[in-house]
Amino acid sequence: MKKVGFTETVLRDANQSLIATRLPFSAFEPILKTIDSAGYYSCECWGGATFDSCLRYLSEDPWERLRNIKKAMPNTKLQMLLRGQNILGYKHYPDDVVRKFIELAVKNGMDIIRIFDALNDVRNIEVAVDETLKQGAIASGAICYTISPIHNIESYIKLAKDMEKMGVNTICIKDMAGIMTPKEAYALVSALKENVSLPIIVHTHSTTGLAFMTLLKAVEAGADVIDTAISCFSGGTSQAATETLEYVFTEMGYDTGLDKETLRKINAHFKPIRDKFLNEGGLNPRVLGTDTDALNYQIPGGMLSNLISQLTQQNAMDKFADVLVETPNVRKDLGYPPLVTPMSQMVGQQAVSNVLAGERYKVVSKEVKAYLRGEYGRAPGEVDGALVEKVLMGDKPLEGRFADTLEPQFEKTKAELGDVARNDEDVMSYISFPQVAEKFFNDRKAREEKKAFYSIEEVE
């Protein structure tokens, strides 16, 4: 029987895409055992923005959340998203930090680590993949899917082969903007199946309305696993619905591994939670709709709304058409980086500044300068030589990895923190988000002291 596996995203990507990652652990704790018995290939529950959001908004220790999920879900593989050398943020960390993070993630319950680099520079995922395999977890190499004159089936095959050589266990096509069409998915998955001998996973978003069709064609071409979200947390900027695709593939004769009645229970649990976020404004109904602008402009939806808000702030919406023309030009000058964070912001901001200043690259942000110095990694295509010359003023861009220029950081930070950090996990929270973690540590201490005080009162 043909098989297709499902990765449930309600705890991570759906949560992040629809309600800015505001689901507290208490909201989904009662349903974890049910999710565990549904028959998913994996459950994406950590990484991405969940870590920051736990510390910043939910007063939760992200490591404790992971351990608690693991305890409730011993039978389903837990999965996280990792930005290679950037771990969960946007700056590069030294190798010792990347390795320690992965060691702790696996120790606390992680089974699958999906690893990507915003530029698809494999040097930036190498250490993370190596450590994931050393720790005995599953390393999934993710290709950031984008459209440009230099990104094509051949370039993606090369990337997948490089990842296979590196030892990854699976390859994921990560279409963060939801712009991969059914035809492209069929061609790309078929080509990957022919050229690498690893399971192929497809991740996309419903933003532009393509997702169901794209996943259908991807599976027809041989995709082994697809990412979906339980229906009440699906659609719009989230993933396509789990139950719908389970229904379709079961009818087509695939073994999905999923149990319909269990899926129904999971959805019944999340429905009132979705309604509460809708009623209280945490979920904007607009993100649930279909927005085809990304197809018209070849610019991801989130980036487009950023451009509009920047221009509105500067009272310059009359320049919108010029910015839309300038954006692909900037992207070309920078060697066609995939339009994923932080590149999407950098390209967008530069385009706005080029138009508003009335002169191209009169002002260049420090991020774009760092990019041109090679601090983010290798550009996918050729960077405009005159621009490099102008910005670096004769300096040579970096040849090797930026991480090689960084001093080891973990032990040093651990010593500096002393007993502020109670364990290595705390040290890692601090390295990832220093101010946020510090505030979290202080609040945690205050909560505990208050609790201790009240328990004395109770005794008396």
DSSP of 310-372, one letter per residue?
Answer: HHHHTT-GGGHHHHHHHHHHHHHHTT---S-TTHHHHHHHHHHHHHHHSSTTSS--HHHHHHH
- Between residues 240 and 266, which has the closer beta carbon with respect to Co ion? 240
- What does the block give as tokens for 412? 């040093």
Q: How far is the CB of 18 from Co ion (least distance, A)?
A: 12
Q: Is the dihedral of CA 139, 145, 148, 153 positive or negative?
A: positive
Q: How far is the CB of 68 from Co ion (least distance, A)?
A: 24
- Between residues 13 and 126, which has the closer beta carbon with respect to Co ion? 13
Parallel/antiparallel/unpaired status of strands 254-255 and 42-47: unpaired
Question: In the 8-state DSSP scheme, what is residue 151?
Answer: B
Neighbouring residues of 344: CB distance < 8 A, sequence distance ≥ 6: 300, 302, 303, 306
How many CB atoms are located within 10 Å of the residue 440 CB?
22
- Between residues 14 and 263, which has the closer beta carbon with respect to Co ion? 14
- Between residues 13 and 326, which has the closer beta carbon with respect to Co ion? 13
Residues contributing to the site for Co ion (CB under 5 A): 13
Q: How far is the CB of 50 from Co ion (least distance, A)?
A: 13
Q: How far is the CB of 206 from Co ion (least distance, A)?
A: 11
Q: How far is the CB of 237 from Co ion (least distance, A)?
A: 9
Q: How far is the CB of 205 from Co ion (least distance, A)?
A: 6
Residue of minimal Cβ distance to Co ion: 13
Q: How far is the CB of 13 from Co ion (least distance, A)?
A: 5
- Reduce the secondary structure of 361-430 to three states and give it as a string: CCCCCHHHHHHHCCCCCCCCCCCCHHHHHHHHCCCCCCCCCHHHHCCCCHHHHHHHHHHHCCCHHHHHHH
Q: Tally the residues of the chain.
A: 460
Question: In the 8-state DSSP scheme, what is residue 445?
Answer: H
- Between residues 17 and 327, which has the closer beta carbon with respect to Co ion? 17
What is the rounded CA–CA span in Å between residue 9 and residue 239? 8
- Between residues 13 and 95, which has the closer beta carbon with respect to Co ion? 13
- Between residues 69 and 211, which has the closer beta carbon with respect to Co ion? 211
- Between residues 13 and 121, which has the closer beta carbon with respect to Co ion? 13
CA dist 11 → 62, 79, 262, 268, 375 (Å) = 13, 10, 16, 15, 32
Question: In the 8-state DSSP scheme, what is residue 67?
Answer: H
- Between residues 129 and 173, which has the closer beta carbon with respect to Co ion? 173
What is the rounded CA–CA span in Å between residue 424 and residue 417? 11
- Between residues 143 and 330, which has the closer beta carbon with respect to Co ion? 143
Q: How far is the CB of 227 from Co ion (least distance, A)?
A: 8
Q: How far is the CB of 176 from Co ion (least distance, A)?
A: 5
Q: How far is the CB of 172 from Co ion (least distance, A)?
A: 10
Nearest to 16 by CA among 211, 237, 173: 237
Q: Which of helix, strand or coil describes residue 255?
A: strand
